[in-house]
Chain A
Amino acid sequence: MTDVTMTVNGKTVSGTVEGRTLLVQFLRDSLGLTGTHVGCETSQCGACTIHMDGQSVKSCSMLAVQADGASITTIEGLSDGGELHPVQAAFREHHGLQCGFCTPGMIMAATDMIRRHPEGLDENTVREELEGNICRCTGYHNIVKAIMAASEAVNTASSRAA
């Protein structure tokens, strides 16, 4: 067993894990952050997507010990608890979900995608960038719409702030 300490959603957390404990298990089972989902467990579906040090990664394809010392954001940490994050709001507005299982991973992937494309997003780019996230309900149309709308909202807000 190994002791790990990391920042999760802005708070320092510690725990004791086995070498083989996956990061997603640590988040869900030890910290109770069950918003991060386990879908395929073979690193294809992206339901477990979180941010590590600001970048999207699949938390089922890494060990908790690999994240020792890192800063992690999960879906629970995206908004401060009051208003929805613009990406969450856009998924609601554009009905970018049906069963909702893939949604946390979609939203974490989308937030990272928008960060990496401050110039804005077109439909092709969004579809290509969603390569690592699978949705079995929606046919992706409304997810793509939601991400494009969120990209505009986020970029407008940041240009206002500047």
Chain B
Amino acid sequence: MYDVTYHRAGSVQEALDLLESADDGKFLAGGQTLIPAMKTRLAAPSDLVDLRHIAELQTISVAGKTVTIGAGTTHAKVAANSEIGSVCPALSHLAALIGDPQVRHMGTIGGSLANNDPAADYPAAMLALAATIVTSKREIAARDFFIGLFETALDEDELITAIRFEAPEKAGYGKFPNPASRYAMTGVFVVQDGETVRAAVTGAGDDGVFLCSELESALSADFSAAALDGITVPADSLMTDIHASADYRASLIVAMARRAVTMAIG
């Protein structure tokens, strides 16, 4: 990789100041995507601002149904947190499926969301949970946050500090992982809360994570795996790559939704 100047921030304000004074700086969270990207020179920032030692980004709070997770929380900590596990076990399950144990010890929820990889797991959960992305400047609804492939509503000088959501009555996640990378070849996160049903799909859309109306209308009528029998999802705007065709992904969406609903019903 090209040489880079490293800075360690002790607070959110210090991180923002360090980034502002850098020529072409980038925030470094767990680094599990950014460091490999720098090694292949896909990314070549002049400066890195390490966020891993900012205590205010590491907090998890569950107050009633309101879950707030600091952006610097690792996947391993989300997966192991008993309070999150009791109000939204689907999110714990999702976190435990990301990458591998070593990656989960470093990678963070904020880093994953800011990167918005089209095959990452957390974006599906945030969209289906109608989560709020809290940043150093404002609060952004998940539906306004994910713009496209590796693209979010974040400004260059804006840092995710936390995510917040209301735990729904029921939630589940079904994932078909790529056998090598463990990224989702298709992942579906479903939520049911009163009259509301949301189903978000990652790993399949050619423009990143999306809410799937075909799944949502079937599940709104009847929140059961059987309600998905015979449902088809159009392959028009799905991804085709060396791993799977758009048609295959279209059928994976229904199959993974069935698994997600089965988990949600428990």
Query: Which residues in A have some Cβ–Cβ distance to B below 8 Å?
Result: 2, 18-20, 22, 41-44, 46, 49, 52, 55-58, 61-63, 65-66, 68, 109, 112-113, 116, 129, 131-133
Q: Mark B128-165, 1 if CB is under 8 A from A, else 0.
A: 00000000000000000000000000000000000000
- Inter-chain CA distance A157–B52, complex, in Å, is 35
- The answer to whether B32 touches A43, judged by C-beta atoms less than 8 angstroms apart, is yes
- The answer to whether B101 touches A113, judged by C-beta atoms less than 8 angstroms apart, is yes
Assuming the A-B contacts A18-B3, A63-B35, A131-B182, are A57 and B48 also in contact, with contact meaning beta carbons closer than 8 angstroms in the complex?
A: no
Q: Which 8 A-B pairs have the closest CB atoms?
A: A132-B100, A131-B100, A55-B105, A19-B4, A65-B6, A19-B6, A132-B102, A58-B102
8 example contacts (A-B, Cβ-Cβ < 8 A) are as follows A22-B35, A44-B180, A46-B100, A57-B102, A57-B105, A58-B103, A62-B31, A68-B8
- The answer to whether A112 touches B1, judged by C-beta atoms less than 8 angstroms apart, is no
- Inter-chain CA distance A18–B6, complex, in Å, is 9
Query: Which residues in B have some Cβ–Cβ distance to A below 8 Å?
Result: 1-6, 8, 28, 31-32, 35-36, 38-39, 48, 50, 52, 76, 99-103, 105-106, 180-182
- The answer to whether A66 touches B102, judged by C-beta atoms less than 8 angstroms apart, is no
Nearest residue in A to B28 (C-beta to C-beta)? Answer: A66
Main secondary structure of the interface of B (DSSP, over half): mixed
Assuming the A-B contacts A20-B1, A57-B106, A58-B102, are A2 and B35 also in contact, with contact meaning beta carbons closer than 8 angstroms in the complex?
A: no
Please pick, from A2, A22, A112, the residue contacting B6 in the complex, using a CB distance under 8 A: A2
Smallest Cβ distance from A141 to chain B, in angstroms? 19
- The answer to whether A66 touches B52, judged by C-beta atoms less than 8 angstroms apart, is yes
Identify the interface centre among B1, B48, B99, B102: most chain A CB within 10 Å of its CB: B102
- Inter-chain CA distance A129–B50, complex, in Å, is 28
| B102 / chain A contacts, CB cutoff of 8 Å | 46, 49, 56-58, 109, 132
- Inter-chain CA distance A113–B102, complex, in Å, is 10
